[in-house]
Structure 1
Amino acid sequence: MKRLLALALVIVMAVSLLTACGTAKKAEESTGQSSQQASDQQKPAESKKWKIATVVKDASNPWFVRMEQGVKKFASDTGLEAFMKGPSKADAALQVQVIEDLIAQGVDALCVVPVSPEALEPVLKKAMDKGIVVVTHEASNQQNTMYDIEAFDNNAYGAFIMDNLAKAMNYEGKYVTMVGLLTMKSHNEWADAGIARQKEKYPKMELVPEQKIESEDNQEVAYERAKEIMKKYPDLKGIMGTSSKDAPGAAKAIEEMGKIGKVFTAGSSLVSVAGKFLESGSLSTITFWDPADAGYAMNALAKLILEGKKDQIKDGLNLGVKGYENLKLKGKVLVGEGWVAVTKENMKDYNF
C-alpha cells in the first residue's frame, strides 16, 4: 500500500513539474513576443526611408540649380530619398501639374517654392488632405502649408536691398522697382519694404509713378523692360531688382545704353549669373541667401515633421544649416538670418 501511495505521489509531482515547465515556456514566449512588439513600436520614425520632393519655380533657373545641390547633400547626409522637380519655366499652372504628379507618386513630403501661393492653395490642400507633409519657402502667406521657412525677415531684406541701391545712387534721384511676377509674394514684399525704407531714410530719392515692372523671372525680359523704362524716364537713376534675373538684366541694358555710372541697379542674384556685370560696374551690389542652404533647411524641417517631432519646432530651432541655426517662429513662419551682400570686391568669395 505504501508503495502504491509513493508511486502515485511521484506521478503527481512529475505532472505538476511538466505543467509548470510548459507554463513557464509559454510565459517566456509571450514575454518575448511582447518585448519584440514593444521594441517594434519604439523604433524611431526615421527608420523609414521617407520620400521628400522639393518643387521649385523653374528647374532651369541657376538659383534653383544651386538649390538642388542642397537637396542632394541632404539626401546624402540622411540616406533619405530626397530630390528636386520643377517646371521648365516659372508658370503656376505647370507647377501645379508637377505637384499633382508627385501626389500620385505617393511622396511623403513636399517642399515647395511657389510661383504663386494663391494658385497653389488647392493642390497643396489636396496633398495635406492625403497626409503629405507640406513645407514652403518664399511664401509667408501660404495657407495650405504646415510651415513656411524664410532665410530672413522679408521686410528687413527689402530694406537692405534699398540701402545698397541708395548708396550707389548717392542717396538721390528717381528709381523703379522690378519683380519676377506681381503674384510672387516674396518679391513684392521686398519691393514694398524697399519703397518704405526709401520714404523713411532717403527723402531725396523718388519712386517714379509706375507699377512694379514684371521681368517674368527672365533675364532677357528684364533687359528689354529696363531699356523701355530708361527711355521713358531719361533721368532715371536706379532700378531695384528682386528676382535673381532682374538686376543682371537691368545691368545689361545699362551697359548697352552707355549709362554705367549714371544709372545703378542692385538686387537679388548670384555671382554665376551677375558676376560679369559686377566686374564691369553696371551692377553695384547683389544680395542673396544661399539657395542650397534653403533647400537643405526645407528638407530638414520636413524630416522633423515626418518623425513626429513638431514639439521641437519653436523659437531657437536649429536645422543645422548656416543662417538657420536660431530660427524665430511667427505663427507658422520660421525666419532665419541668412543674407549676404556681394560687390566686385568680394565676389570671388562666392563661387556659385
Structure 2
Amino acid sequence: MKLLRTSAFLALGVSAVLMTGCGSVNDGAAASGASDGAKASDMTMVTVVKLKGIAWFDRMDEGVLAYGKRAGIDTRTEGGDDVSPEKQIKIIQDLIAQKPTAITVVPNSPEAVANVLAQAKAKGIITVAHEATGIENVDIDIEAFDNAVYGEKIMKSLGTCTESKGEYVQFVGGLTAKTHMEWVGAAYDYQKSNFPDMKRVEDPIESTDNEAAAYQKAKEILAKHPNIKGFQGSAGNDVPGIARAVEEAGKTKDICVMGTSIPSAANKYLATGGIDKIFFWDPALAGEAQLEIARILATGGKIEVGTDLGIKGYNSLKKLDGYDNVFLGDASIEADAESAKQYDF
C-alpha cells in the first residue's frame, strides 16, 4: 500500500516589478541586437512554446501577455498543434522574416532548433531559451531550477510513497525533451543509489504531452506489469492520463502517481487520490523571466550570477556548472491535494 505524506510548500506570486540585471555571460550580453537607447514601445518579442492549447502553455501565455502589458512591449506566444520539432522550426523561420527584437523558445528538441536559432542571431535577433540546458545558438538559457535536483525530489517522494520498493515506470513528453530526460535520468540514478528494492521496468515512455496517449500507454503498462507500484510523469498531461488509467483499474490505493503538472490539470485526480503529488513551477513566471532577460539584453544590459529579474523565483540567478550561458532560478513547487488548492492555475 502506498504511503502518503503531507508537507509545507512555497507559493510563488506574480511579480509586478521589473529590474535590470548586470554582469557578464557570454559575457552575459546579447551577441548582437542590443542598444542602450532601445525603447520598449519599439520592441516586439515572441515566445515559441512546445505546444499550443494545453493548460501549461495557456498559463505561460498569460504571463507573456501580462509582461508585455506591464513593460509596454508587444509580446505574444506562438506554437504548433503538436510537439513536432519541425513545426517549431517553421514558426521560428517565419518569425525571423518579421525581425522581432527577440525570440524566446521552449523547444521540443534543443538540437533540432539550433540551426534556425543561429539564423535568428545572424539577423541580430536576441534569442533566449527555457527548458533547454546546453542548447546552442542562444544568448541565454533560463531554467526554473537545477533539473537534476528537481528529478531527485520527485524520486524521493515516489520512493517514500512506495515504501522504497516495487516496480515503476517513467513517462516523458518526448525523448528529445531535454529537461524531461534530465529529470527522469536524475530520478533513476537516485533510485538506484537510495532505493535498491525499487526497479524501473521500462525505458522512459513517450506521451507526446497528450493526456489520451498517456492514458492509453498507462493502461498498457498496467496490463504488462500488474504489480507496478509507481508512475513518474514529466509532461504536464502525463499524470492526469496515468491517473485515469489507475483509477479505472481500481488501483488508486496501491499505485503511487507523481510528476510534473499544474494544479488546474491535476486537481481532479489529486482530489480522488489518483495523483499523489505534483511538482511544478509557474509557467507564467517562466514566460516573464524569458522576456525580462530579453529586455535586459535588448537595452544593453548583461546577465550574471546574482542578477535579480524582479520575478518571484528568479531573484538571484545562479549559473549552472559547466555552462557559460545557462542560468537557474529557484522556482520549484510541490503540492499534494490540500496544498494545491492555494494555486489558481
2: CA distance, partners of 1:48 / 1:329: 31
* CA displacement at 1:118 relative to structure 2: 0.9
User: Does 1:322 find its partner at 2:320?
Assistant: no
User: 2:334 aligns to what SS in structure 1?
Assistant: strand
Give CA-to-partner distance per residue, 1:215-245, whole Å, 9 cap, x none: 1110110000011011111111101111111
The answer to whether residue 131 in structure 2 is matched with residue 141 in structure 1 is no
Residue in 2 that maps onto 1:196: 189
Distance 1:48 1:266 in 2: 43
What is residue 6 of structure 2 aligned with on the other side? none
- In the alignment, structure 1 residue 178 sits paired with structure 2 residue 171: yes
Summarize the alignment of residues 11-22 of structure 1 with structure 2, pairs less than 5 Å apart. none
Distance 1:194 1:92 in 2: 26
Would you tell me which structure has more helix in proportion to its own residues? 1
Q: Judge conservation of contact 1:279–1:344 (CA < 8 Å) in 2.
A: yes
Question: 2:264 — aligned with what?
Answer: 272
DSSP-derived class of the 2:39 partner: helix
Other-structure match for 2:227 = 235
Determine the structure 2 residue equivalent to 1:24. none
Correspondent of 1:61 among 45, 54, 57: 54
What letter matches 2:170 in structure 1?
T
Select 2:123's aligned residue among 116, 120, 130.
Answer: 130
Matches within 5 A, 1:336-351: 336-351=329-344
- TM superposition shift of 1:44: 3.2
Contact 1:49-1:79 at 8 Å conserved across structures:
no
Structure 1 CA distance for aligned equivalents of residues 131 and 344 of structure 2:
23
* Alignment partner of 1:290 is 2:291: no
SS in structure 1 of the partner of residue 190 of structure 2? helix
Rounded Cα–Cα distance in structure 1 between residues aligned with 2:233 and 2:256:
11
Q: How does 1:95-110 map to 2 (within 5 A)?
A: 95-110=88-103
Aligned-residue offset at 1:197: 1.2
Q: 2:217 aligns with which of 220, 225, 241?
A: 225
Q: For each residue in 1:138-193, what CA deviation from the matched residue of structure 2 results, as whole angstroms up to 9, or x when unmatched?
A: 00120111110000000000011111211221221111111000010000000001
Moved over 2 A (4+): 42-48
For residues 341 and 256 of structure 1, the distance between their equivalents in structure 2, rounded to whole angstroms, comes to 26
Contact 2:307 2:315 in 1 (8 A): yes
Indicate the larger mover: 286-295 or 164-173. Answer: 164-173
Contact 1:60 1:89 in 2 (8 A): no
CA contact (8 A) 2:107 2:113 kept: yes
Moved more, 185-194 or 100-109: 100-109
8 Å CA contact 2:127, 2:140 repeated in 1: yes
- Match of 1:314, SS state, is coil
TM-score normalised over the length of structure 1: 0.85
CA distance in 2, matches of 1:144, 1:69: 27
Measure, in 2, the Cα distance between the counterparts of 1:49 and 1:77.
Answer: 15
Distance 1:106 1:341 in 2: 39
Q: CA deviation at 1:305?
A: 0.6
Structure 2 counterparts to residues 73-112 of structure 1, below 5 A: 73-112=66-105
Higher relative contact order (CA 8 A, sep 6+): 2
Superimposed CA distance per residue, residues 321-344 of structure 1 (whole angstroms, 9 cap, x where no aligned partner) = 111001012321010110111111
CA spacing shift, 1:264–1:128, aligned 2, 3 Å: same
Aligned to 1:4: none
Structure 2 residues without counterparts, runs of 5 or longer: 1-34
Cα displacement (A) at 1:134: 0.3
> How far apart in 1 are the matches of 2:220 and 2:145?
32
SS at match of 1:278: helix
Q: Deviation of residue 82 (structure 1)?
A: 1.2
**Aligned twin of 1:34:** none
Distance in structure 1 (CA, Å) of the matches to 2:178 and 2:36: 41
RMSD: 1.2
How much does 1:43 deviate? 7.3
Contact 2:36–2:300, Cα closer than 8 Å, also in 1: no
Indicate conservation of the 8 Å contact 2:214/2:238, yes or no: yes
Aligned to 2:162: 169
Other-structure match for 1:6: none
Identity across matched positions, percent: 42
Q: Distance in 1 between matches of 2:166 and 2:296?
A: 48
Letter in 1 for 2:237: K
Gaps of 5+ in 1: 1-41
Q: Output the TM-score relative to the length of structure 2.
A: 0.87
Letter in 2 for 1:68: D
